[in-house]
A and B are shown apart, each in its own frame.
Chain A
Amino acid sequence: MLIRRRWEALTEVAIELLIRLCGISAILFVFGIFFFVFREGSGFLFHGFKFLEFFGSTEWYPTSQSHVRYGVLALIAGTASVTALAMLIAVPFGIGAAIFISEFCGSRLKETLKITIEMLAAIPSVVWGFIGLTLMNPLIMKLFGAPIGLNVLNGGLILALMSLPIIVSVGEDALKAVPDSYREAALALGVTRWQLVYRVLLPAAKNGLLAAVLLGVGRAVGETMAVLMATGHAVKIPASLLDSVRTLTATIAAELGEAPVHSEHYQVLFIIGILLFMITFVVNLTAYLFVRGIRGK
């Protein structure tokens, strides 16, 4: 009996330790990611890295024979333009769909729509890229007379569809979090459902909806394969929607395989990785604070 007791106590302690270790694993991994990406890029970051050229120049010639230049301004512009277009489309549609699902439809239709959006979210990014390459590319060339259909428009549309699911689901959660008493009070005053949405729900769910948008931005900035395949490979600041661009993520994916390990070029790609890590970190942190804001109330 006593031995069994002791055995039980021992497993209890061991398992609790294991659980606590797994519990902090997420923290370890986040730090690990930062540490290892930083470690690979640090050699160049501290020796010979030109901060001004990196952020201020659009000249990205990592393999030039005569004069190597690492300016990522054009890549940042590429990421920004594609993300901005994606959000321009995805935010109104995503919030609209969230409102419809949360306020306007019956429970059966609601379940069906939620499942469909879950399915949309499940489509792998490489398949999206393939769609951009084979379906949208000729379509854009035909409709707009563009010389090539792999451009900001293509990438933006694809990214909009990719970030819609997260905007819809987080946005719907935010609307659901608005207490029913708000709805009842408004309806008792004789408002229509549209007025209810516009005047009561949107202001009340503002923070959650903002979080939804931010998570969508995070998704769009970090997306790799789809933009690699759908935006073309021109390193330049786009002047129109029909210009090809290259994003930060696509640059890493396209060039890492060819850069010799521990060369300058290789290390610069890791520095771009640090930059991406920090952008998404800030975006997610802000979204988290907004979501906590709703819960805190």
Chain B
Amino acid sequence: MNDHHAVFQATPLTRRKQCSEVIAMVVFLLMTSLIVLPLLLIVGYLVYQAWPILSLDFLLTSPKHGMRAGGIWSPLLGTVYLVVLSLVIATPIGVLAAVFLNEYARDNWFTRIVNLAVINLAGVPSIVHALFGLGAFVLFAGLGKSILAASLTLAIMTLPVIIASTNEALAAVPMAFREACWNVGATRWQTIRHIVLPNSMSGILTGVILQVSRAAGETAPIMFTGAVFFKAIREGHLFAYGLFDQCMALSMHLFTISTQVPDVPKALPYGIAVVLLSTVLAVNALAIIVRVYLRSRKKW
């Protein structure tokens, strides 16, 4: 019965240390949960308010009666146009730019400047992109306020997203893959085309998907380059917009409805917000799923 010698007796100092440890842990946990909570609260609140209006009809009919009734078909379609077109423009440029940075560029001052430019491009405020789009595409290039001008603006704005994730994906391909390929006599481009790009598909795909989510949510860059408050289009027609038409967009529509149009039914703006938010979140979730799935299939 002498075991009590073996029992560790906490000194006041140890106890104080343990106490501070627990406090620190709890404080950091609280800080983190205060970041997570708003997401749940916001989504919950918006869905709750929008519930009465959400239906398939809401998606498939255009706004009516000075935008106080009807659905969101024309802005939804406009957003799809803008996103697809900006994606088509930005993806090749972004992927090739990342290929340049990762496969061709040496670590010198020039590469550093390119990297710096990418970071700065990502940091330029969206409203400055809008000014640029207005000055360069709408006025200088003479495209006018059009879907094309707005998509070009969006493409340049979202370029860094694709460059960054492609770059990361390319860097993750082991050097030995490239060396093996070069040793059998493949050229640089053949190596990239047949070995590097296929092996980094997951990262590129993630970047592309994130670009979609970013482009769909942006408002400021399209406000002055192609999106308008209201435009009547042919109902139930997928190709209702032309390349040089102006269009409505979901994000812009939410802004218009909630700030510029008086006496709208209460649930209407919430409905738009929920559709916009769920599109963006769903697209992001898809990016995460793709990333996790393709990562699990990787063999190195």
Contact = CB atoms under 8 A, between A and B. Distances in A.
Nearest to B216: A124
Contact of B24 (A19, A194, A253): A194
Contact of A8 (B96, B187, B285): B187
Nearest to B105: A23
- Interface of chain B, helix or strand or loop or mixed? helix
A122 B217 contact: yes
B219 interface: yes
Contacts of A40: 131, 134-135, 139
Given A18-B96, A273-B131, A101 B32 contact: yes
B19 to A, nearest CB: 10
A26 B32 contact: no
Nearest to B277: A127
A20 interface: yes
Interface size class of B (residues with CB under 8 A): 35 or more
Interface string A224-253: 110001000000000000000000010011
B280 A122 contact: yes
B136 interface: yes
B223 A257 contact: yes
Interface stretch (B57-65, B172-180, B240-248, B253-261): B253-261
Given A33-B128, A116-B39, A288 B139 contact: no
Contact of B254 (A12, A127, A281): A127
Contacts of A130: 254, 258, 269, 273
B54 to A, nearest CB: 16
- Interface of chain A, helix or strand or loop or mixed? helix
Interface in A161-208: 161, 164, 168, 192-195, 197
A228 B214 CA distance: 19
Interface string B66-109: 00000000000000000000000000111011011101110000
A36 B136 CA distance: 6
Interface of B: 17-18, 20-21, 23-25, 27-29, 31-32, 34-36, 38-39, 42, 45-46, 49, 92-94, 96-97, 99-101, 103-105, 113-132, 134-136, 139-140, 156, 159-160, 163, 187-189, 213-214, 216-220, 223-224, 251-252, 254-255, 258-259, 269-270, 273, 276-277, 280-281, 284-285, 288
19 contacts: A15-B189, A16-B104, A22-B97, A25-B93, A25-B159, A29-B117, A29-B156, A100-B31, A120-B35, A120-B39, A123-B217, A127-B46, A129-B255, A161-B38, A168-B35, A192-B17, A249-B125, A253-B220, A280-B125
Q: Closest 7 CB pairs between A and B? A: A124-B217, A23-B100, A222-B125, A96-B31, A22-B96, A194-B24, A100-B28
